[in-house]
Amino acid sequence: MKKPKALVEVMAPKPAEGPIAARVREILAELGEDPAREGLIRTPVRTEKALRYLTAGYQMRIEEILNGALFTVKYDEMVIVKDIEFFSLCEHHLLPFFGKVHVAYLPRRKVIGLSKIPRIVDMYARRLQLQERMTQQIADTIEKAVDPLGVGVICQARHLCMMMRGVEKQHSGAVTSAMRGALRDRQETREEFLSLISHDAF
């Protein structure tokens, strides 16, 4: 005999709770909610799963990301990967900030597989972050991996900690940059980078 749907739901085993889920349940109660009500009963487990995904960058290693994708190529023009979407969590309030990263470098002897650059962005974005630090980390990592003549990284982001609380400015954004080598020292090279990311080339 087929059990009624409601009875099946009641008998279904509760999802296993990890240490983060247990604390989320306590936070919900502290906020005045009932963690046992229907809409929240699985929220602690979902929250732990989401947080572990959003901070997976702590487990990523640059050696595994690159996986040998460095190639000796006779190419001395600028390489740009622009409009790399990212989502991160502000370390001050654990609220999201999100936007786009633009990366450029001038090869010296080697180039990096194009798909690796967004993966490097993800590695740093999926951590508790400051936009300023993330921008520097991306530039430093590419500089160390490829040893180029120059590196440029620009990050444009909106921060929910500014939009939802505090100053509550919904239309404000933040722009940070990190320039290394030729992109810092040569104005014409830097201007070329800025020009190429400022218009839609596709």
Tell me which residues are annotated as active site.
Answer: 90-93, 131, 159, 161
CA-wise closest residue to 154 among 184, 119, 129: 184
> How far apart are alpha carbons 99 and 138 in whole angstroms?
15
Token pair recorded at residue 152? 């440029």
> How far apart are alpha carbons 174 and 179 in whole angstroms?
17
Given strand 79-90, what is the order of strands in its sheet?
Answer: 128-129, 79-90, 96-106, 150-159, 174-181
Residues 6+ apart with CB under 8 A from 95: 89, 159, 160, 161, 164, 165
In the chain, the largest separation of any two C-alpha atoms, in whole Å, equals 78
Residues 6+ apart with CB under 8 A from 98: 85, 86, 87, 88, 157, 158
Q: Is the dihedral of CA 103, 100, 88, 67 positive or negative?
A: negative
* Residue 17 contacts residue 43 (beta carbons within 8 Å): no
